[in-house]
Amino acid sequence: MFGIGSAAVFSLTGKYRTSKRPVRHFVRFFKLHFLFLNIFLFRLFRACGSTPTSHKNKDHHYTDVHGLPCIEKIVASVDETPEAISTKISGTIPEWISGNFLRNGPGKFEIGNNKFNHWFDGMALLHQFKIAGGQVTYKSRFLGSDCYTANSENSRIVVSEFGTVAMPDPCKNFFQRFLSRFELPKASDNDNVSFVTYKGNYYVSTETNFMHKVDPETLETKEKVDWSKFIAVNGATAHPHTDPDGTTYNMGNSYSAKGAIYNIIRVPPTKTTPENPEETLEGATVVCSIPSVDKARPSYYHSFAMSENYVVFIEQPIKMDLLKIVTGKLRGKGISDGVYWDPKLETIFHLINKQAGKLYSVKYHAKALSTFHQINAWEENGFLVMDLCAADDGKAINNYMVQNMRKSGEALDEVYNTMCRVFPRRFVLPLNVDMETPCGQNLNTRPDSTATATKTAKDKVFCTHEDLHDEELHKYGGLEFPQINYAKYNTKPYRYFYGCGFRHLVGDTLIKMDLQGKRMKVDSVILILPSLLNTL
């Protein structure tokens, strides 16, 4: 999770006061800031007993594609369209389709003379496609976040984002600008990832501790909501899961001098005070807390899996170097500089019982993989079946720099060819593992699956996956952004799912997958529109 600044034990902010002895005051403030920073970092890394190391890997070519079209308009700033406009329809929209199709993503990549570095950094632009009577109208509006307002008022980037560091205020004197580099990073409220719902209200979200309640009809920003005001977490994913009764589950990290902790969050389905229309996250609780295997370098996660009775947290080898992150401003580096892939580590699946709030003692391991989105998970005949989109490499997140997406010709081809493809996979986790379970034999007895699960030690099962596709999917660059009929099949056995093919840096085809026979159908080509595609 990004945005750990609000979790820091010490606040390193301070106001420089003018004095007849500026050098003395400068030295005093410098010593104080440096002392606090060292105390925090010493306590943080004493918990893990080691210091961060450099992780550099040579680029590996996964494909040999040439002649990709330039997609620089994807990261072009656009104006908002707050008043609905009509659209031109190609084909026919069935009359029974009616409602609002809401999307969220970055829409502004420059503030004054400052430019954002990463695709994930652009200012949130909310989109609405209103579908009725076979017609579609469109409107958009920039999210009225604090960072958007501050950036606009100052005509420069004031709040740091994932790949961009806000530079010190040029109006401050030298000492003030210097000291500001020792401040810990503050969480951004630039909620540019997705629309989510809690207790019937619509929010836009990112991966910090801030969300914004919005009006789905007007796209107006209504209220800023801070997770940390309700529970002890410093953020939440932008992809929660919802039970049939409306209870919502999510995950968020917390940080202290003892290291990083992953938390399972539960939000009740209805308002605790029905007569209070302004209620937001009241009643939210932490169901279970999981200590990070590496307390100073926790895993990054974008989402999680959920079955009827379990939350599945995937601790993957995409790591966050907390030392680099908390010192990013001092070094002039964004959070992205502290995110790295460590292929020497295994992936660990943690199971948490939703009702009891207990972490299952058995840990399921797999080879190093990266996953951003899960497809579905369900329990059947003593197994938990989990389908997800995964890759054998986790460095792609840092490839989506704006400069890469604006490349053309061979330079663009090189970026694409060095990115590992993502494919749908299935893991089968046996739920009845105990002291009597034999080691060294495949525990997956499901005749319809080639996935394996082998007990290798007490409370440890090593798993291999089954591919949910045939060779044809390779022609379309793999598959990401999976979707199912969530209301009907989430946490249940299912047959179909949809996703985007990736013959480019971004999705360019819509694919329907049929798990019976692992067949696929390419329904259409997705038109690439500026700033309309959702971020990861």
Binding residues for Fe cation: 239, 302, 373
Angle at 319 between CA 314 and CA 321, to 5 degrees: 145
Q: E strands within 257-382?
A: 259-267, 285-291, 305-306, 310-315, 318-320, 339-341, 347-353, 358-359, 363-366, 370-380
The CA-based diameter of the chain, rounded to the nearest angstrom, is: 82
Query: 101 near 67, Cβ under 8 Å?
Result: no
Between CA 256 and CA 453 the distance in angstroms is 35
For tokens 């502290």, what's the residue? Answer: 338
Sequential DSSP letters for 188-231: P----SEEEEETTEEEEE-SSSEEEEE-TTT--EEEEEEGGGTS
- d(CA 278, CA 271) in angstroms, rounded, equals 9
Question: Are 242 and 270 spatial neighbours (Cβ–Cβ below 8 Å)?
Answer: no
Question: What is the number of other CB atoms lying within 10 angstroms of the CB of residue 344?
Answer: 8
The answer to whether the CB of 455 falls within 8 A of the CB of 433 is yes
- The torsion region of residue 491 among left (phi > 0), alpha (psi -120 to 50) and beta comes to left
Three-point CA angle 501, 502, 506, nearest 5°:
120
The binding site consists of: 239, 302, 373
